[in-house]
Chains A and B, each alone.
Chain A
Amino acid sequence: MATSLRDPSTLFFQSEAIRRLIISSYWVVLIAALPLWWHTTSIERLSLPTSRVNAQADRQLRLPISIGLEDASLVGPLQRELDSRGQRWKGLDVTVAGAAANASYIVVNADNAALLGERRLQFPLRRATIPLLADALSDLLVPRLNSHRIAHYAPRYRLAFTLLNEDAVEGDAISSWDISTAITHQLSPLLDALSVLHNFTIESQVQFHAPLAFSPQPMSDGSVGLTPEDLTVFVNSAEWTLSSSVSNDPVLHFLVFVPSSSHRPMHILDAHGVPTTAESFLLPQWGGIVIYNPPNTERGVRPLSHDALSSILPQFSNQLLSLLGVAKLPPGIPSTSPLTEWQLDALLRRRAFENTLEATETLQSIVRLVDQIDNMPVGQDVRGDVLSALSSLDHIHIHSKTASALPLPLSLSLNTTLHHSATALTLASRAFFNPGMLALLYFPTEHKFAVYMPLFASAVIPLLATVIREVAAWRKQRREAAVAVAAAAQ
């Protein structure tokens, strides 16, 4: 052109190659930075084994029970009788056999009275008593319990023994008690027997001023009475320092309450206001309370007498057994020891079922929760806990299948089952309550747009527009070149 200005298309830096190189250098850096974007803003959200968890819901735990009858002729009727109570034996495969050696429970004939031994029942075996035998076996093997009373399962319980003086004064106070020796002598055998289920930590304290939050009802003879409504509000948690704050294990409280001199003697009334002879009562899932009225002859600041302790401890042990879910023996069947193998086995089975069910439900809840909330992080520890819980559940089912095949001793088999179910429950709870999952629950998507858009929308649009134009120009160029080649070939 007629000007001293150069034609820009002849300039070196305006060539197509340079332009494309510059555009691609921008894009290379952008694409190389994408993994960094992912790394710096991603929430750790590992995948949970959803299908395995949902498959657990369809699995049923079945535990086998085999009963050996001394009298082989009654096997059939007994089996039919037991099967007719099907609902009660839910989850258990009960088989009655003859006097085989490898039955879990053996029933032998007794002459008149029934007697309970170690997995042995002496019962009059006659055709007429088969229904009674079936009832007795049902009560022994699958007892009915008030589930509201039983404390929730935990591998370790803290047993907190407290001696409460309602109002200790200079002349009249019970200042201490030899609870540790009493526990060692009277309670430790029980705790050791229960050690397959739970571990126990024991602690005790003495309180000197533990006022009641209400006034008990005065009776005509100068004593005071506690109505059933008063029993529900007896524990004055505000004033009595009972609970602890250190570990997560549940606490079962056992209180000895010594009323003040103006409230003695203190009786528990029944629904009609008549004093009963009961000295203790149980608070469901919480603990037990014994009311000790000291005799008038005692005075001064003194420790709790040994006689009193030895009468209180058995009440505590009964309350402990009730709270832990140990069933009472059916009437008419006495036993020699306070905790028989039958009761322990029934408790083990019950806890195993409960734990398995609850572990399965907790795992399903976790999976549903994580699915619903997109922002919830799932860390390595949660995933590990879920996988371990699933493997424990698998162990239970494998073990219950093989246990019926192999002649394992029943106690070992039940212990293993319970142990796995306890592990599964603990891990599932730990995964569900993991505090790391709470982060970032409340960062809405609109805010993310508001943060990203100003920089990236404005910066990336020219980049994108240029790329699109380049691609279109390149395509046009190719077409024109093809047309030119075709025209030249003609």
Chain B
Amino acid sequence: MHVDDLTLPALVGGRVAVALATDLYQQLKYNHQLASPLTSYLNLQEGVFLFKNGVDPYFGGVFRHSPLFLALFTTLIPTSRTICSLLWTLSDAVGAWALVQIWRARQRAPQTSRDGLVAAAYLLNPYLFLPTFALSTCTFENTLTLLSVMFAAQGSVSPALLSAALLLQLSLSSILLTAPLILLLANSTGPVSQLASPHAFASNGRKVLPLVAEYVAYVAILSLASTLVSGSWAWIPQTWGANITLPDLTPNVGVWWYFFTEMFDHFRPFFLMVFSVHLLIYVAPVCIKFQYDPLYAAFVLQGVLGTFKAYPTMADIGLFLSMFAVFPELFTYLRHPIVTIFLHLHAALLMPLFHHLWLSQGTANANFFYATTLVFACANGAALTDCVWAGMRIAIGQPQDGYSVVQE
């Protein structure tokens, strides 16, 4: 038995032990960096309670999760704290396993020496395990993202599209990842790294259309199921509509909340439209530029999501940072990784501090926390732009003395 074979089970075991032994949830339940109004466990419990007592949870109020969660937590899984902690840890474990499978598919090897490192990059990332301890449902979103990418990398069409459709039910912004996923499924060269040898998209368009149709069919079926569970179409404006209309201005790690707190009423619909279109505008260029390596395009778009989404949490950008482990070929070509790391350190340490000073202690004001979210966005932007640069720079070749590669 290779020692790396044991790394994943050992880490999972460790996480399960921590989950069962401690009750970190009580300290973390109100933390706005780890859970947004769309993913908070408190809101989930409230919705399940109202649903069980005959009140329509989408008639108003705080519940903004998908009706599939209602179905899950009222019929299959009771909402006891221990079972939920185990469930969340299990979801993290599945996500880590999926990441390892993606790595293996990219290396085209059933087992490599770096599997353990990849699993550790996912399970030991504080941006990822803290939201899991806070029982924030963004863990499920990450797991589903990784599962859909894994199935697409392995070539299984239906499981990939089904998990992508499930992911869309949980989070509307994940529609950005549909395009690279479909390209990955239709790609004939598979997930193997082609970054060093860019070429045109090696497949004909005829494979793409049936994939899109199948995805749309899955989405329609799941939406219908959600409507049946919740009893009406009211869940659509409450869950998906929240990403577009931003009804809840609770602070989070993104750039939307303070902007729309201070925005004038006349311009509010316009800027909501601009920010939503801004998310969509990245899909086509990134997919066109990296059409030879759709897995890399999915990676870049995950970074875009984590930075510019409506209700982001730490977990969204945590997934992006953990997926760096799958692309070790980039490391040589990153131009400013130290800056990115320090910016992240700065933001990650100061955000909880200023949040506490503002809301609990009352000695700071909203600008302090807003400034740290700006630094966080800078850090994410730095990581994103570095990836885009490095992904293209690989194609040119190893760095050489006496020559420098720049853009004009």
Residues on A lying within 8 angstroms of B by beta carbon are: 3-6, 8, 11-13, 18, 21-22, 25-26, 28-30, 33, 36-37, 40-41, 440, 443, 451, 455
Contacts and interface: CB of A to CB of B under 8 A. Distances in A.
Contacts of B1: none
Interface string B80-114: 00000000000000000000000000000000000
B280 A29 contact: yes
B405 A5 contact: yes
Contacts of A21: 288
B395 A13 contact: yes
Given A3-B400, A5-B405, A37-B270, A12 B292 contact: yes
B397 A4 contact: yes
Contact of B285 (A25, A33, A37, A41): A25
6 contacts: A21-B288, A22-B289, A25-B285, A25-B288, A30-B281, A33-B274
Nearest 9 A-B pairs (CB), nearest first? A25-B284, A12-B198, A40-B269, A40-B270, A5-B397, A29-B281, A22-B285, A41-B270, A33-B277
B95 to A, nearest CB: 31
Given A25-B284, A29-B280, A455-B274, A11 B266 contact: no
Interface in B121-158: none
Contacts of A37: 270, 273-274
Contacts of B198: 11-13
B396 interface: yes
Contacts of B396: 5-6, 8, 11
Contacts of A41: 266-267, 269-270
- Name the prevailing secondary structure of the B interface residues: helix
B264 interface: yes
Interface string B307-346: 0000000000000000000000000000000000000000
A21 B277 CA distance: 19
A154 B227 CA distance: 55
Interface in B331-377: none
Interface string B246-283: 00000000000000000010110110111001001100
Nearest to B289: A13
A36 B271 CA distance: 11
A28 B284 CA distance: 10
Contacts, number: 71
A120 B397 CA distance: 114
Contacts of A22: 284-285, 288-289
A389 to B, nearest CB: 30
Nearest to A24: B284
B59 interface: no
A29 to B, nearest CB: 5
Taking each of A3, A30, A40, which has the highest tally of chain B beta carbons within 10 Å of its own beta carbon? Answer: A40
B131 to A, nearest CB: 30
- Name the prevailing secondary structure of the A interface residues: helix
B53 interface: no
Given A11-B396, A29-B280, 16 more contacts: A4-B397, A6-B396, A8-B396, A11-B395, A12-B198, A12-B200, A13-B198, A13-B292, A13-B395, A22-B284, A28-B284, A30-B281, A33-B273, A37-B270, A40-B269, A455-B274
Contacts of B402: 3
Nearest to A1: B403
Contacts of B289: 13, 18, 22
A471 B277 CA distance: 26
B242 interface: no
Nearest to B197: A12
A8 B288 contact: no
B395 A36 contact: no
B280 A40 contact: no
Taking each of B266, B398, B403, which has the highest tally of chain A beta carbons within 10 Å of its own beta carbon? Answer: B266
Contacts of B52: none
A335 B103 CA distance: 111
B400 A5 contact: yes
Contacts of B175: none
Given A4-B398, A12-B292, A440 B281 contact: no
B207 interface: no
Contacts of B264: 451
Given A11-B198, A12-B292, A443-B266, A3 B403 contact: yes
